Structures are given as structure tokens and as C-alpha cells.
Amino acid sequence: MRIRPANSVRDAEAIAAIYAPFVTDTVVSFEDVPPTADEMSARIERLTHTHPWLVAEDAGEILGYAYACPHRERAAYRWATEVTVYVDPRHHRRGAGRALYAALFEALAESGYRIALAVIGLPNDASVGLHEACGFKLVGVYRRIGFKFDRWWDVGWWQLDLTNDGDDRPPAQA
């Protein structure tokens, strides 16, 4: 398995295909309509100017992907980022999610980001387990905030310190 930067043209169709069932069949994503390959390509293009978007590939097949995006637009939040990972269910529990996250966190730390935030629709034991195994800590739950499949869902927020250096000064750039 190889982790590499996503290519907005070459990888968009596979990424859209991996993501679609999470949109249509689960509350892992709160989107209602799966994005097309063209929309996914545009998302990759838009985000990779400031945040990494990675894919796990094996023998030419995309197994999963991970990316980061801005947490909030206010300047004070510029050292925090939201992260997410999606792995094709055929490849769950084989290390792709952890490998993607390890590479993503390294890239984010090198770029000056200090905090990674993960947002998880609840309940989702598999995602909670992955994030906590990667060092995330639960920091709060929004109750009954997302409405999908004719009911309300809770959303948990998990946080990971990307630096672990104890330095309270912000980096020059993020």
C-alpha cells in the first residue's frame, strides 16, 4: 500500500465511488446526495491549495482517502484543521485508515497546524475506535443536531494535538 497526494483528475471517480455509500446508506456523512466525480475533483482542487488530500493505493486501486480542511474562517483558528478519512468497506481493518491518518497528521504538523478535529455522527463505534486509537480525545457532543433518515442524530467532536511539544507560541504560518 502506498500513500500519496490525491490527483484531482485521476482519483476523483474512485474517491466519489468510495464516498457515495457513506452518503446514501449511513450517517457517517450528513450529505444527502453523493457528489459526482466532477464535484469531488473540484473539492480536491479547492482544498489542496491549503490542506493535504491523500489516497491509499494498492496495485493501482484506491483503497481510501483522507483530507484536511479549514476548521473555521476566523484568523484565530488558522492553526486548527478538521480531518476525515474514508476507506472502501472491502478494505476496512487492514490499516489503510491509520496509514492515511499518520501521513496526513505528519503533513499537517509540518505545515504548522497544531490541532486536528474529527467530527463523527453518533453512534459510530468503528470511527470512534479508529480516532481514539490514533490519539484523539472526545471534547464534546452536539445533541440531536443532524437530521437524516427521518430522525435526529448526535455529533461528537474529537481533538488531537499534532505537536505534543508543549510550546504555546503559534508557528509563523499555517
CA 106-109-112 angle, to 5 degrees, is: 155
Q: Where are the alpha helices (DSSP H) in 33-120?
A: 37-47, 96-110
Read off the pLDDT of residues 125-171 as tens digits, 9 standing for 90 and up: 999 999 999 999 999 999 999 999 999 999 999 999 998 766 666 66
pTM of the entire predicted model: 0.93
Residue bearing the bigger pLDDT, 37 or 174? 37
**Among candidate residues 70, 3, 22, the one with its CA nearest the CA of residue 43:** 70
Mean of per-residue pLDDT scores for the chain = 94
- pLDDT tier at 172 (50, 70, 90 boundaries)? low
Find the mean pLDDT for residues 67-77: 94
* 92 vs 168: CA distance, rounded Å: 37
Q: Which domains does the chain have, with CATH numbers?
A: 2-161 (3.40.630.30)
Output the CA torsion 110→111→116→121 (10° steps). Answer: -120
